[in-house]
Amino acid sequence: MYRKVETWVDVVAMEHRILEFWKETQAFEKLRRQLAGKPKWSFLDGPITANNPMGVHHAWGRTLKDLFQRYWAMNGRDQRYQNGFDCQGLWVEVEVEKQLGFATKREIEAYGVDRFVEMCKQRVRKYSGIQSEQSIRLGYWMDWSDSYYTMSDENNYTIWAFLKKCHQRGKLYRGVDVMPWSGRSGTGYSQMEVVEGRRLVAHEALFLKFPLRGRPKENLLVWTTTPWTLSSNVAAAVNPELEYVRLRAKRDGEIYYFAAENLQYQRLEREFKEKKEWVEGVPKLKTLEQIFKEQGGYEILGYLRGAEMVGWEYDGPFDELEAQAVVGGYPFIDAKVALSGKTAHRVIDGGRDSRGAATVVVGEGTGIVHTAPGCGDIDHVIGKALGLPQIAPLDDEAKFIDKFGPLTGRHALVPETVEWIFRNLKEKGLLVHKELYPHVYPHCWRSGDPLVFRLVDEWYINMDWRDEIKAIVKQIKWIPEWGQERELEWLSNMRDWMISKKRYWGLALPIWVCEKCKAFEVIGGREELKARAIAGWDKFEGHSPHKPWIDEVKIACQACGGAAHRIPDVGNPWLDAGIVPYSTVRYNTDRDYWKKWIPADLVLECFPGQFRNWFYSLLAMSTMMENVPPFKTLVGHALVRDEEGREMHKSSGNAIWFDDAAEQMGADIMRWIYGRHETTTNLNFGYGVAREVRGKFYNTLWNTYSFFVNYARLDGFVPEAARTPVATRPDFDRWILSNLQLTVRKVRESIEAWTPRLGALAIETFVEDLSNWYVRHNRRRYWKGKDDLSSRMAYETLYECLETLNRLIAPYMPFTAEEIYQNLVRSHDAAAPESVHHCGFPVADEALVDQRLSDDMAVVQRLTNLALSAREAAKQKVRQPLALLSIGPTTEPEREAALRFKAMLAEDLNVKKVDVLAVGAPSPTQVSAKPNFKTLGKRLGAKMKALQEAIAARSETLAKDHRAGQASFEIALGDETVVLAAEDLLVESGAPAHLAVAEENGLWMAFDTTLSDELRLEGLMRELLRRLQVQRKDVGLEIEDRIAIVYDGASPKAREIFARFDALLKEELLALDIREGDASGGAEHALGGERAVVLIRKAG
């Protein structure tokens, strides 16, 4: 039989009980056995980085993943239930470095790469275990004994196979390029990675002059935000089509050339005004005109085109450095450049980018761009195209190398270096102006240090096969739809994929380079490596394919027979996650099994960065491996912010850890927040949001369940197989059951369309209708006992609603659904499935859908809300009965609905009579129009009196036309016609004093608020009844307890209330006796000038 349920549930304690229940009963294991051999539904998990405990931002995606898996399980689909852990890469290395107190790569190597790598493995094992437990706490059902790890041999060797295919197609190469580089981590970043670390900061920027050779006291004016790169300047780029000014500065009498439009250009004006993308404390940027005026003024001598400047030569700011004198570049000497005889420090045509846009434009600088091909991305492209020398000044710690004079050994970005450069330029007379400049600058997305751009040699995949990937992209369903366009845009603009990292913990790139002829080969797997090995296999045997053990293995070069060694680099970590459709689904060992599960039906991850990261690597690697989509549908969700919409950061104090949220608000509350949110918009998460969900939805659901169980327990009701036919049940029962089917239909449609929010909102609407409409209007039916037919039908209907509703919420709130199921169903039906998650998901019974009934009840709900607004406006509480409610419908369906539920409207709105009038019956509200003197007074002057009289004659008609939306009105004033706009008329409305009226789109409802003595007395009785119900609860009585009431000190009208309404009060309060007597210790009630002391105690 049902267990009694309190109206308040400790969600957290309940969830821990359910976790134990699932564990003891092996609920998940039994589900897997139940689904084995059934039609398959394939989900491919994007691996979570096993590096720290989960935050609440991780829980959004994991909630949605679990929701979809539970839904398809309840629809009888077999699944793999494999969670993934991302294990390798800098994110783990940085944390281990912190743990060891290391700041440089040299310290790692002194410590021992083998020991360091083992510590990385240990950290992954530790936090994968923690995240597994946290996911279990979330209610995330996975086979936690079979998670995949991207550090596994299988994963690494499968990537080797991918890279071998790339090499066989001629797509793998070693190249020299300028790459974003972390001096802290000592490694470069691919194009896809650097976007993740962009951050708004303020850097010291400067304007300086480059003296022109052969033009005494004439200079190019240039600007830079990276002063360290001036050490490696080789050119100054202009736009041939721009107009440049020749300006003499009074500061030194010298001539400066720069883009004419830049003189008065308002630099970052909008950003400063709106304080968007602006750093606090940074002053407004000055125009060049302001700078020159503050330094004594200027005069303009003339103008010329940029094309006329191309070929000019100038003295560089650091020509004295030894590196600047090396012919052909430094430290990478390009023999072709050296032989070409092309000199540095020339004015060049900046040209255009790959999309045809000019690289030199008017903007924040001067229209002359300082160019250092060894220090900048675009500079490098320009330098290669023009055959310019490339000077690369920095080592892997972002410190200046030899041949850079006093700069050698200094870190490029530390304030001391920047200040030295400013001071040196000032001493040379080259510094014109220094300023703080706010801009978005790339930082290491894991360690947080600012990046530099460094000329390095790395390994790349040539992505000239992007059209093949695009063809795969177009075969996939993208949620949201614009995701496809974004992915295609990324593929169109991306450069070659840099796959190498100069680090330690990661994929060992399977590239072996011959020590003799320098040819390289790619090994495709463990067995191939073993067969090719000529040395070191014995030292590697028994180890995972990681540094340093894999580096012991040498192979014979197929080109010359010499010994080849593995390159020291590790792989880009997105290779690790991109291969999982192959490495985790038996691609290498059971191709038939793989074909059954791939392409997966779904992948789901946070989308802002994954278009260029995981989604991209999945698509690219699958295209290369088998030229098939790795998945059929992709669902992306946005970001989790704090309640004020700010990014969550531990350093800001606004981050919420998963454990804290789960143990304070409960996992199911968290899951409902995620399940009901629109996936394409950021979610503002916090405890206030949780309280709102708890108060507006969860408590309503729970209290409805509690109401049913507690009354059914008292009456001994249990549902029977043979129930009252729905067709014979009252309208109200058939209405809620019809709405239930519509809700089931909506929830199924929304989840299968990958939009669970719409299903959650449909559930919320149904719970509101069930609790605050159906139960509230039918409450008395549950007090009559199970033997009463009306009562039994009410119990049956509410049970059917709750049982079906509980299965609807199961994927969203698995703990709550299980708790309810065990009491609502299993307590009286031992043959029912052991867990709600072993049950089938509801399917709408279309035979029970009565759209006309649903439409009629929707009308009644609208009528009720409108009528309540009329009561509220008239300050008439619903507990005060009124004599008459008149309804003026606008359509025949409205009228028929009002007539059908006339009795219910009377009871619900506490009115003695409801009068439903004919369609179009005139409203009792009187409307009138009068002229707006503010808009018409000056215009019409002396004609205003005549206009006022003319409007008064047509007042009601004009007012109604105005309310109907008419935009203009013609008013005849004698022989003249005046045209008035809508704003020229003021419309007023009012009803007779005894009526409370509300109107909406022509529909009106009017209460007669005249109160007779009888109505006043009944109103006092209803207020007293409410207070006594509260008192009954406050003294600790159970809902089934019968009571005795004694009242004392009653005023005459209070005494009359007890006498006249004795039977009603007894029925409502479950009172066996109401009498006057000694009410000592009772509660005093004062209402409307009347009073009584009432004592309530349990009867018997």
For residues 535 and 337, what is the distance between their CA atoms, to the nearest angstrom? 41
Instruction: Please state, rounded to an integer, the average pLDDT across all residues of the chain.
Output: 94
- Summarised one tens digit per residue, pLDDT across range 436-473 is 999 889 888 767 789 999 988 899 999 999 999 999 99
The helix/strand/coil state of 818 is helix
pLDDT of residue 803: 99
Instruction: Dump pLDDT digits (tens) for 559-585.
Output: 999 999 999 999 999 999 999 999 999
pLDDT over 90 (residue 317) = yes
Split at pLDDT 50, 70, 90, the class of 639 is: very high
- Assigned fold of 926-990: 3.30.720
Rounded Cα gap, residues 816 and 391, in angstroms: 65
pLDDT tens for each residue of 912-928: 999 999 999 988 988 88
825 vs 376, higher pLDDT = 825
DSSP assigned state of 371:
E
What ranges do the domains of the chain cover?
38-171+462-506+578-637, 191-454, 510-568, 673-849, 855-922, 926-990, 1013-1098
Q: Given a cut of 90, is residue 704 above it in pLDDT?
A: yes
pLDDT confidence bin for 341, thresholds 50/70/90: low
Could you report the per-residue pLDDT of 998-1028, keeping only the tens digit for each? 999 889 999 999 999 999 999 999 999 999 9
Neighbours of 481 (CB within 10 A): 9
The predicted pLDDT at position 271 comes to 86
CATH architecture of 191-454: Alpha-Beta Complex (3.90)
Place of tokens 């404390």: 281
Q: Range with the lowest mean pLDDT among 516-525, 569-578, 775-784, 821-830? A: 775-784
Split at pLDDT 50, 70, 90, the class of 333 is confident
Instruction: Report the distance separating Cα 477 and Cα 488, nearest Å.
Output: 13
Q: What is the DSSP letter of 915?
A: E
pTM of the model: 0.86
String of DSSP letters for 929-957 = EEE-HHHHHHHHGGGHHHHHHHHHHTHHH
- Helix H or strand E segment including 719: none
Query: Is there a contact between 332 and 455 (Cβ–Cβ < 8 Å)?
Result: yes
How far apart, in whole angstroms, are the C-alpha atoms of residue 58 and residue 86? 14
Backbone angles phi, psi at 1094, to 5 degrees: -125, 130
Residue 331: asked if its preceding bond is cis (omega within 30°), the reply is: yes
Which of 296-310, 602-616, 1033-1047 holds the top average pLDDT? 296-310
Asked if residue 538 has pLDDT above 80, the reply is yes
- Average pLDDT, integer, range 118-145: 98
The matching CATH number, chosen from 2.40.30.10, 3.10.450.50, 1.20.1080.10, 3.40.50.620, for 38-171+462-506+578-637 is 3.40.50.620
pLDDT of residue 780: 86
Choose between 225 and 176: higher pLDDT: 225
Q: What angle do CA 353, 354, 359 make, to 5 degrees?
A: 5
Residue 273, pLDDT above cutoff 90:
no
State both tokens at 707: 């109401």
Residue predicted with more confidence, 663 or 185: 663
Q: For residue 305, what are the CA distances in angstroms to 142, 244, 287, 749, 918? A: 67, 6, 22, 64, 82
For residue 786, is pLDDT > 60?
A: no
Architecture of domain 1013-1098: 2-Layer Sandwich (3.30)
Cβ pair 841, 74 in contact under 8 A: yes
Residue 191 predicted with pLDDT over 70: no
pLDDT exceeding 70 applies to what percent of the chain?
99
**What beta strand segments (E) does 443-522 contain?**
452-461, 477-479, 497-498, 500-501, 511-514, 520-522
Q: Which helix (H) or strand (E) holds 646?
A: none
Degrees, nearest 5: CA angle 285-290-296: 140
User: What are the tens digits of pLDDT across the range 1030-1083?
Assistant: 999 999 998 889 999 999 999 999 999 999 999 999 999 999 999 999 999 999
Report d(CA 270, CA 278) in Å as an integer.
10
The one-character DSSP state at 877 is: -
CB-CB neighbours of 1018 under 10 Å = 21
Q: Are 277 and 440 in contact (CB under 8 A)?
A: yes
Pull the structure tokens for residue 317.
């700011």
- Token pair belonging to 169: 């197609």
CATH code given to domain 673-849: 1.10.730.10
Mean pLDDT across 956-965: 86
Please report the pLDDT score of residue 765 as a whole number. 98
Q: With contact defined as beta carbons under 8 Å apart, do 703 and 696 qualify?
A: no
